[in-house]
Structure 1
């Protein structure tokens, strides 16, 4: 065990829950203070975090700041600004037969929350859920991914130094550590990762009836019809696909292009990749690396499943795979069935949107769906077809940075959502105080019942119940 013995891991949620019970639900000021402490940590250790992210993933400093640090700073500021309003009790009164009922609904924390982060955005996906959990008044244990070891160790160092064990604690370790944690008596588990591991987490949590939020992945389709083409649109798609070397759960997975603009789009994709990363992407300081050897091998296999239109170069020692475009893929190939999660972009022509949607070639329950079009009818067709919680029109990726938009999946892409107010709601439950003020006692509701009472009930049910 890299960090602690089994007993300690099992008792972590008990320690945090007992502290919460003894001190009571933290005040709004206490929660804001904790969030602002987290903000200070991010600012003070910005350079070290960027260095760790480069060590693990070869991330450019710009991407590390924009997609990991900046998004967390913005989230903290947004949550602190709106927390008082979100936490305000909701009161209402309702006139009933013989009495007035008064309701007071307040959000309460679950208790001790386990957060299991992912390796592709190891800072953001470890700390973003913690922001919502702390805002709701919870205690947290964070288990970062072992596949981003430099970042995980740095998070453990800076978080555990600044926060008490009872408030916020980082535990490092491998899958065995994660298994021990998911079998501990946490009050809620938040997991980001693959569907395969997500099922294991959900099964383990179900044994203790522990609620779970799963943020998984999927093959996010990206459509471009004959009205949606422009050089700017292609640049957005190329940027979103190859950001973080394609290792983004909301990246455009596969690009479907209308046949009338197919060659023009392919040529512009090549031009955009060259403009972004030069003729030798391996030498570009703005292009990342594949996280693990196993994932590298998977990308190499994907490349071999179609004709390489652009790229295809790879270096195992550097975990480098160039931005790659593949075409003419055989039906049934794994690259068409599995989430790619890397810098390989299949580009597939189509002739009619309705026929394509009916073919079953698009996964409907992805985290998001993208369409580039000026045709409102086709946009509506696509929106009606997809089950994804978010549909992005003429843009990729940006929606995930907004605290105004709930981030989460449906079906195979997970369940539950967070970011902004959605995070505050996800990590709390509604507690209702119910009071009645009687002005008349309706005796007909008490036994012994009679036919007369039944007739009265049918006439007065809206007032009685």
Structure 2
């Protein structure tokens, strides 16, 4: 049975209206409790992340547990300065103007599944530090991590100011019918449009952190041994399920050949002859996403990899060539370990290719500048 979201939001608004989150000391105390939560349950989070996407221990620590701990520490060191009024010039003679920092009120944070701890809790840190009460909605696609967050938050944080709600599409849809003072969403563009539409009803300020294509251009002047390692590390971390991972490569035919040769060496060095057995590679989050990625394999010729096993939610690190610009793999966000290559003669052609397409999520340039 879905929780009564109206009561959840009313409880959060009542807590905000009590004024206790306005106290800087209260916020600091809650931030310190968050740090305690992460430190005392580090191994539990690592195990939950392994259960959800078989995330390797080092990745779980560096990109999830250590990331949230570092973020809390960073905020605590700067919160006094951030919260202090800013004096600004005034056009009125003998007048003094100040910018005072005030919280929005009740914030809703909807987390993502690819980094289900970091991408859920880092926005919570900011909302909490600013003096808002927060309703936290972890991704149902990472159920072990979501359940752990729901279990631990009430034991460490103020139960009225910071609440966790779990559930799938129907629960999220019902939750979005409520009035919030700020919404922070991380996830797909499709769901982002739904969140935006819901926020329009109350003109709620909203941050949408969504995905997209992230091109990577390699020029002709680079040290391929170093470059291949950096590109493949960015692409294979979390098995490519990162919104800023290199989505596709742009390079000349000559550079393509050198890259492919070096990529084979690097992948063999890192993951061995049977990468599916490597402890350093994650898994695709759901069967549906495996099917989506497998469909991209038909969009070109796999010169590296190309194998998959749906029962294991496994797609092998793959490099595709002979890809057309209008194919599915080039028009949809890949979000997986498949790296297509498009040939261009120089950086001018690369820029023109990128500009003809939708705005990039990020852009990687590999070469010498100057």
Same fold (TM over 0.5): yes
Match of 2:173 in 1: 179
State TM-score, norm by structure 2. Answer: 0.96
Distance 1:94 1:332 in 2: 54
Is 1:127–2:121 an aligned residue pair? yes
Q: Is contact 2:224–2:258 with CA below 8 Å preserved after alignment?
A: no
**1:91 equivalent in alignment to 2:95:** no
Superposition RMSD on alpha carbons, in Å? 1.6
Q: Do 1:227 and 1:375's aligned partners in 2 also have CA atoms closer than 8 Å?
A: no
User: Where do 1:400-419 residues align within 5 Å?
Assistant: none
Q: 2:227 aligns with which of 233, 248, 261?
A: 233
Match of 2:43 in 1: 47
SS, match of residue 255 in structure 1: strand
Q: Distance in 2 between matches of 1:300 and 1:213?
A: 32
Q: Deviations over 1:412-436 (max 9, x none)?
A: xxxxxxxxxxxxxxxxxxxxxxxxx
Kindly report which structure 2 residues correspond to 1:64-463, keeping only aligned pairs within 5 A, or say none: 64-92=60-88, 94=90, 96=92, 100-360=94-354, 363=357, 365-376=359-370
Say whether residues 1:19 and 2:15 are aligned partners.
Answer: yes
> Which residue matches 1:9?
5
- Rounded to whole Å, the distance in 1 between the matches of 2:355 and 2:290 is 25
Distance change (3 Å), C-alpha of 1:94 and 1:69: same
Deviation of the 1:94 alpha carbon: 3.7
Question: How far did 1:220 drift?
Answer: 0.4
- Please list every run of 5 or more consecutive structure 2 residues that lacks an aligned counterpart in the other structure: none
Please state how far the C-alpha of 1:361 moved relative to its aligned partner: 6.8
In 1, Cα distance between equivalents of 2:246 and 2:358 = 14
Q: What stretches of structure 1 of length at least 5 have no aligned partner? A: 377-465
Contact 2:34 2:157 in 1 (8 A): no
TM-score by length of 1: 0.77
How far apart are residue 10 of structure 1 and its match?
1.9
Asked whether 1:62 is paired with 2:55, we answer no
Secondary structure in structure 1 of the residue aligned to 2:323:
coil
What whole-Å deviation, never above 9, does each CA across 1:23-72 have from its counterpart, x for those lacking one? 34432221111111111111111111111111110100000011111111
After the TM superposition, which of the residue ranges 22-31 and 327-336 deviates more from structure 2? Answer: 22-31
Residue 313 and residue 79 in structure 1: after superposition, are their counterparts in 2 closer, same or farther (change >3 A)?
same
Q: Distance in 2 between matches of 1:362 and 1:234?
A: 26
Change (3 A) 1:161 1:100: same
Distance 1:81 1:231 in 2: 39
> Greater relative contact order (Cα 8 A, min sep 6): structure 1 or 2?
1
Query: Given that residues 229 and 261 in structure 1 are in contact (C-alpha distance below 8 angstroms), is that contact kept between their aligned partners in structure 2?
Result: no
Alpha-carbon contact 1:308-1:325 (below 8 Å) kept: yes
Name the CA distance, whole Å, in 1 between partners of 2:322 and 2:89.
64
Q: Are 1:326 and 1:347, in contact at CA under 8 Å, matched by a contact in 2? A: yes
Distance 2:174 2:193 in 1: 16
Q: Deviations over 1:322-343 (max 9, x none)?
A: 1111111134110011100001
